[in-house]
Chain A
């Protein structure tokens, strides 16, 4: 077994005992259950969940990710003093957090869905995929910030700022741009705007699959018109994977060069 897999296994073992991860899964389970009880039908549950997923998954991934790198600093130093290469260690540490976070989300949502017999709900699979992808994207962004900034508060601050920009500020700015330049053809810029924000991408991904055109927002509407459904899904997924890979590789590069 490679060193990365050993570090991953150890990370999983550690996270399984963490009350935070269990609590995170529980929050999604309770929320999904409540939405089924009060909201009724499956598709409405999925759309309601979407808004929570888009805010909460990035937030939790960002907070856990930066704290994971900075609070484990001394232990990471001890691990680096063992016969393990830095890339293996980084991969193991990253997956050791991203995998349990993604699993907690997916299991937390899936259990109540199965309980309420909503397994066939359209859009549910995409919601799970979007949530898992967002976990990987924001964990890799958080690791990048955690590696870059030695100061715990600074790393967390920068990561939270990124989260705030992506989830809250961004939509406002896009809307502002759309209003300001309403007289110009905006399709291409809007498309670029959607690709440039992983949260927007996840939203578009889901709304392309669920028939909820009214909820799509400006970027989503443009996306659908431009790509059509299937191609749009592929493009959005590909862009999200890129959003995972690029920060991950930048973080790895920083980790390899870092002085501990």
Chain B
């Protein structure tokens, strides 16, 4: 197995506050990995470093063999679904999608998710008229539309209804089956249990556990992921 994402010696502080302390991480191709941990564990900072939104103090990151740095080319391989999507209010969803597709260039976009979410009708309304859930669906479409080999999903199902959330999870499993690597954060442990192959547990800017869900169960002696993570938290304390 080759690593889709490699993080070596990653360090980042905000002022005097350390956010990441020497992170080493290798995510294998085609795996769905959930990053979990308490607030301020460094999950967001790690994701933002991978996306190039935050500049690390030290260390290096490679995405599919391409270095993360000033050259934005590697982001052709990355699809990002932020937690709180905001799109320009005056434009329609269709215009936003067209602009982002134009910016990325490349192949004919994949409209499967668009169809399954039944977004066609909403696409011609200005974004400001869309509900939070509809915006989140649009957000998901943006992330998956170009079939990126690396998907980064930040609390992907947070404001989706159960039906939409199910559609999105199906898509995540489908893409992972087709060889995409998925990195997601979630506070819903049932979702982690349903979606993830592997789990990364972070505390205070360090990775405390990285392995398959089964190895987590084995290590903690708990069957449910929620209980297992609670056991990890106690271990860390």
Contacts and interface: CB of A to CB of B under 8 A. Distances in A.
B155 to A, nearest CB: 14
A80 B86 contact: no
B91 A78 contact: no
Query: By DSSP majority rule, is chain B's interface helix, strand, loop, or mixed?
Result: mixed
B70 interface: yes
Given A72-B86, A74-B85, A83-B72, A10 B99 contact: yes
Given A85-B70, A260-B48, A80 B53 contact: yes
Contacts of A72: 86, 88
A213 B51 CA distance: 58
B88 A77 contact: no
Q: Label chain A's interface by main secondary structure.
A: helix
B55 A14 contact: no
Interface string B72-92: 111110101010111110110
Interface residues of B, number: 33
Interface stretch (B100-108, B175-183, B186-194): B100-108
Interface in A68-87: 72-75, 77-85
A82 B100 CA distance: 8
Contact of B84 (A18, A74, A82): A74
B203 to A, nearest CB: 21
A78 B48 contact: no
Interface of A: 3, 6-7, 10, 13-15, 17-18, 72-75, 77-85, 257, 259-260
Question: Top 3 nearest A-B pairs by Cβ distance?
Answer: A17-B90, A74-B86, A81-B80
Given A75-B88, A260-B53, 19 more contacts: A3-B103, A10-B99, A13-B99, A14-B91, A15-B90, A18-B90, A74-B86, A75-B86, A77-B82, A78-B82, A78-B85, A80-B52, A80-B53, A81-B152, A83-B73, A83-B74, A83-B75, A85-B71, A260-B54
